Chain A
């Protein structure tokens, strides 16, 4: 790893007697500050400020059209005893864990498949990316039709094939609805995992596989002892992102079920929107959104410490 070099070593600065402006003019850190300022301003204005405001709002009883007053932890106390909130936490965890696990499995499988030499490789890779480039809401609307209680193409096909005799109630039954939104999320999320892991696979030198082949490794052993360990850093990164995106998902669920039936698919994000914007109780909505932060931090911490443990990536590069 390279470290950033400053133009003036520390001991030179001590003996430098030039005026402050002269010293600043030649100081690279001073220059760097100005280069970073636009980005920093942007991040503060559009990320840090709204986040801080949201957290502050969760400690007030603000409503749409009325400034709130500080009420301490009252919103959180209220949520603590709210079974719908706990149902949304359960739904979010279920949604995140199942969808992420399956996205990982399918994504890794696709990546391994696409990493092989095969005809029309470039075209197949492009096709895999399609779910990712379609706007979420559009794909959600497509799924809405696919899951429609009367006109579902799935139900229609299965009936024509004689496998079932009545329409499947995809979005009407609580567990069916959960499975349906999870499926839609997986369909959308797999390309990201697959393409990122494919990029990771391509950084593994082919000679390592050849060396392992000569060392007597079978296909499975090559995956187990070479591919998988070398891929873990990128798996950690891609799965962290995947978990964060899934945990905070809003569009798909809102477009498909609006949290129904009977809150069975309400995620923390959708519940927060419903309480905060639609019902106008901004303080309570903000509290639900803020309650997501510990979960997200935990996900980041797990992957961070997972990555810290890999000693082989550290140490000096002696090429």
Chain B
């Protein structure tokens, strides 16, 4: 096990810079998730950590050793690929033991370690099968088994669950998290799915356009997003954003939206009367009330445990989620009241949290 230090790392392909100075400290034994939309550079960063891509500038250190010029095989890391990259001509046991075989480990030693890893992952009955004969979830576990067998300093996961169906994905999520709690190996996990990030990570790194937008624990990011991008990216359904101006009326601050609704806030940033800003409120922080934002119900989506309502204020859509089963139908006029204490304010121009 080891810590990982990513310091001011940049990456250019030709003249095109895709990572603009990324610094991420990763503590020993942590489970860090890099999350962001496609093309944000998260996979590139992971591949640089693995040694599959060169580092244009900056340094990456694993433990105390800067690995910029260290060959991938000497970095003592194991990676699980999105398509699993299982060797199709080798059995499960051969796949898992391949790295040990290359290191000229003894046959006895290889088979003991493969058996031990297979035991952890419930792969023992499948050891003689070929990848083609396995289901998606089984292949995924073999890919993890191949990583575990090596007992590396760091595990790298590159979108490992995106080829699985929804149900299996949830099950594997738990399995990977359990595995980490058991082995306590430092793990860097890349995904575009914020639910995966929220459920699995000790620390989430939100990336966007080659920079780190915010780092922190899942709940920190959820409760205190530093900017509008993170606020919109973390949480599902996504946070509602309403454009408006800050007003203060008799010491009581509020945001007046462009179409005249008054939105409550608990405290106002200083000297900001009349300043244009974006008001953010999560769907679960809207309550049905007799006053508040007047909206027309467009769609009602019950999921059983909760009901999601899409409502329109003029041309803008607002999503609200209720645990109670309110009787509303499309076309109904409702009033939605945001909870002031959990509302977020962002600067209209910079998107920064106020």
Partners in one complex: yes
A residues sitting closer than 8 Å to B (CB atoms) are 205, 207-208, 210-217, 221, 225-226, 229-230, 310-319
CB 8 Å contact bits of B139-178 with A (1 = contact, 0 = none): 0000000100010000000000000000000000000000
User: Bound state CA distance, A207 and B132, in angstroms?
Assistant: 17
Residue of B nearest to A204 (CB): B88
User: Bound state CA distance, A212 and B81, in angstroms?
Assistant: 12
Please give, as numbers and ranges, the residues of chain B lying within 8 Å of A207 by CB-CB distance: 81-83, 85
Tally of B interface residues using CB under 8 Å: 29
Residue of B nearest to A314 (CB): B132
Interface SS, A side: helix
Given A316-B132, A318-B132; 4 other pairs, CB 8 A cutoff = A208-B85, A214-B72, A215-B150, A319-B136
**Complex partner residue of B135 from A211, A212, A318, CB under 8 angstroms:** A318
User: Bound state CA distance, A232 and B133, in angstroms?
Assistant: 20
**Does B354 sit within 8 A of A, measured CB to CB?**
no
User: Bound state CA distance, A319 and B132, in angstroms?
Assistant: 9
**Complex partner residue of A205 from B83, B90, B135, CB under 8 angstroms:** B83
User: Bound state CA distance, A216 and B72, in angstroms?
Assistant: 8
- Across chains A and B, the number of contacting residue pairs, with CB separation under 8 Å, is 76
Residue of A nearest to B77 (CB): A214
User: Bound state CA distance, A211 and B128, in angstroms?
Assistant: 20
Contact A317 B77 (CB under 8 A): no
User: Bound state CA distance, A316 and B134, in angstroms?
Assistant: 9
22 A–B contacts from the bound complex (CB under 8 Å) = A205-B83, A208-B85, A210-B85, A212-B98, A213-B51, A214-B52, A214-B77, A214-B78, A215-B102, A215-B146, A215-B150, A225-B102, A230-B89, A310-B89, A312-B89, A312-B131, A312-B132, A315-B130, A315-B132, A315-B133, A318-B134, A318-B136
**Does B79 sit within 8 A of A, measured CB to CB?**
yes
A216-B85 contact given A316-B132, A318-B133, A318-B135, CB 8 Å threshold:
no
Q: Give chain A nearest CB distance to B331 CB in angstroms.
A: 45
**Complex partner residue of B81 from A210, A221, A311, CB under 8 angstroms:** A210
Residue of A nearest to B81 (CB): A207
User: Bound state CA distance, A316 and B130, in angstroms?
Assistant: 10
Please give, as numbers and ranges, the residues of chain B lying within 8 Å of A214 by CB-CB distance: 50-52, 72-73, 77-79, 99
Please give, as numbers and ranges, the residues of chain B lying within 8 Å of A229 by CB-CB distance: 89
**Complex partner residue of A230 from B50, B85, B88, B136, CB under 8 angstroms:** B88
Residue of A nearest to B75 (CB): A214
User: Bound state CA distance, A319 and B135, in angstroms?
Assistant: 8
User: Bound state CA distance, A226 and B87, in angstroms?
Assistant: 7
Contact B98 A215 (CB under 8 A): yes
**Does B103 sit within 8 A of A, measured CB to CB?**
yes
A317-B132 contact given A215-B99, A215-B102, CB 8 Å threshold:
yes
Residue of A nearest to B82 (CB): A207
Please give, as numbers and ranges, the residues of chain B lying within 8 Å of A310 by CB-CB distance: 89
Contact B99 A311 (CB under 8 A): no
CB 8 Å contact bits of B84-96 with A (1 = contact, 0 = none): 0101111000000
Please give, as numbers and ranges, the residues of chain B lying within 8 Å of A212 by CB-CB distance: 87, 98
User: Bound state CA distance, A298 and B75, in angstroms?
Assistant: 50
Contact A216 B102 (CB under 8 A): yes
